[in-house]
Amino acid sequence: MGLPFARLLAPRPEGLEGRDPDFIRRMLPRLWLGTSLYFRPEVNGFENVPDEPVLFVGNHSGGANIPDTWVFTLAYHTYFTVEGRPLAGLGHKIIAMTPVVGDFARKFGMVTAGNEKADELFANGASVMVYPGGDVEALRPWRDRNKIVFDGRKGFLRLAHRNNVKIVPVVATGGQDTFFVINDGRATARFLKLDKLLRLKTLPLSISFPWGLLPGDLPHVPLPAKIRIQVLPPIDLRELFGDDPDWDEAYDYVTSLMQVGLSNLATRTVIPVLG
Amino acid sequence: MATDVTRTVVVRRPVVEVAAFATDPDRLLPIMGGIDRFERVADGEYDVFLDVGTIHIGGRVMLENPAPNTLAWRSVRGTTSTFRLVVEEHPDGSLVTARMTLRLSGLLMARLSEVLGRGIMGRHLTAGLEQLRHHLEHESRA
């Protein structure tokens, strides 16, 4: 009886030591088969990735499920192989601590986000994946599904610049068609003073199965939307903006470039959800 | 039956600069996202096709500048469509408005196709305008 509790309370690795190549190798075929049938993913552009540690910067969607993140992780491991350059996804500590999901994510390379941890990953030759928009982006309204929403967060630029690694932008469509966010609730969050009390900028209202109408989002059964992902050519911040960049200018450039990539990818959609 | 879509984008560059680029088809069409192929066939006459994943939609259009800071086309062959792009003053620079109209023959199926076409046109217009904005704000100044 005490075993499950002991396992829950056992310390969990916060770095790449939690990655389990044997587990990835074992799970990859079955997960890719299921994903291919359910989300019919199209992932292109991996030939743009240079053979060196890079910072993948993506837009992600789909609320708590973030199916496009999983699709990218699976696609990366099929293209570069499990023995290739390790991919570490920086995630929130809450996800890492969640039973089952956290264990699964860690074995696939999820690392608890942190500046020192990220620097260490690059020093050890790994590539890193970040989603600067976080929950604000994953819970953006459906009408903004093809918009880059990084909410002004520029830490990823400093991370790439400090470690002298290139940024490889990754854009994805379809994730926000797996459930529907009606409103981001920014005005409501401000009215209830949640931004000051709980540092919550948004209070989205979503519709998902089986929950129906819900404030925020819980893990849900995603609609089988077609997911498309495009890996864009790398950006060298030092080459473009020098040793002492204007961060606002760099942010403007990277998000603008990603918006163009995302809008172009969205033109492949004939009917939302179906593909 | 006809349906139309309008999309706008703010470009943080002066109207003169934006209009000079956006109303010149030989400069605009090569950078427009979603336009898979285009070819100048005669003076003011172009073949323009949108890439919609499985099919290409478009045909031959007559392009003209009917007013200052304006580019327009009307189709002469293929899918019946009109297009109008206008560049106006905006507090942050320029406001570019693109409007596209699609006309299909028929009743029920035409209506259904127009509903789908409306979404497709909207996404293509957005992609084109974003490409235009990025080009003028970042690439052309590099």
Q: Tell me, what's the pLDDT at A100?
A: 83
Residue B106 is given by DSSP the state S
CA distances (Å), A85 to each of A76, A128, B37, in order? 10, 10, 38
Sheet containing B80-90: which strands, arranged edge to edge?
B2-11, B93-103, B80-90, B70-78, B56-64, B45-51, B35-42
Judge whether A49 lies within some domain: yes
- Give the Cα separation of B45 and B50 in Å (integer): 16
Of A253, A263, A268, the CB nearest to B126: A263
Q: How many A/B residue pairs have CB atoms within 8 Å?
A: 51
Judge whether A43 lies within some domain: yes
Query: What value does the mean pLDDT take over residues B17-23?
Result: 97
Q: Which residues of A touch B53 (CB under 8 A)?
A: 268-270
Q: Which residues of B touch A270 (CB under 8 A)?
A: 52-54, 116, 120
Q: Work out the pLDDT band at A16, boundaries 50, 70, 90.
A: confident
Judge whether A132 lies within some domain: yes
- Give the Cα separation of A69 and A56 in Å (integer): 11
Q: Which of A263, A265, A273 to mutate to test the interface with B (most CBs of B within 10 A)?
A: A263
Judge whether A215 lies within some domain: yes
Of B33, B52, B131, the CB nearest to A270: B52
Q: Which of B52, B92, B121, B134 to mutate to test the interface with A (most CBs of A within 10 A)?
A: B134
Counted domains in chain A: 2
Comparing CA positions, the residue from A223, A146, A147 lying closest to residue A180 is: A223
Q: Work out the pLDDT band at A4, boundaries 50, 70, 90.
A: low
Average pLDDT of the residues of chain A: 91
Residues A196, A256 within the same domain: no
Strands A205-208 and A110-112: unpaired
Q: Work out the pLDDT band at A203, boundaries 50, 70, 90.
A: confident
Domain of A206, in residue numbers: 179-221
Residues A104, A229 within the same domain: yes
pLDDT above 70 coverage of chain B, percent: 98
Residues A208, A229 within the same domain: no
CB atoms within 10 A of CB B39: 11
pLDDT tens digits, A87-116: 999 987 777 777 888 889 999 999 988 889
- Give the Cα separation of A16 and A28 in Å (integer): 18
Query: What value does the mean pLDDT take over residues A185-206?
Result: 82
Domains and CATH numbers, chain B: 2-139 (3.30.530.20)
Residue A107 class from Cβ within 10 Å (0-12 exposed, 13-18 middle, 19+ buried)? middle
Helix (H) or strand (E) holding A130: strand A127-130
Residues A79, A166 within the same domain: yes
| pLDDT at position A1 over 60 | no
Residues A71, A98 within the same domain: yes
Q: Which of B37, B51, B126 to mutate to test the interface with A (most CBs of A within 10 A)?
A: B126
Q: Tell me, what's the pLDDT at A10?
A: 65
Strands (E), chain B: 2-11, 35-42, 45-51, 56-64, 70-78, 80-90, 93-103
| pLDDT at position B56 over 90 | no
Residues A106, A213 within the same domain: no
Residues A69, A147 within the same domain: yes
**For chain B, what is the radius of gyration of the CA atoms?**
15
- Give the Cα separation of A50 and A235 in Å (integer): 11
Of B51, B54, B127, the CB nearest to A266: B127
Is A270 near chain B, with CB under 8 Å? yes
Find the CATH number of the domain harbouring A168: 3.40.1130.10
Residues 6+ apart with CB under 8 A from A114: A14, A90
Judge whether A166 lies within some domain: yes
Q: Which residues of A touch B132 (CB under 8 A)?
A: none
Q: Work out the pLDDT band at A253, boundaries 50, 70, 90.
A: very high
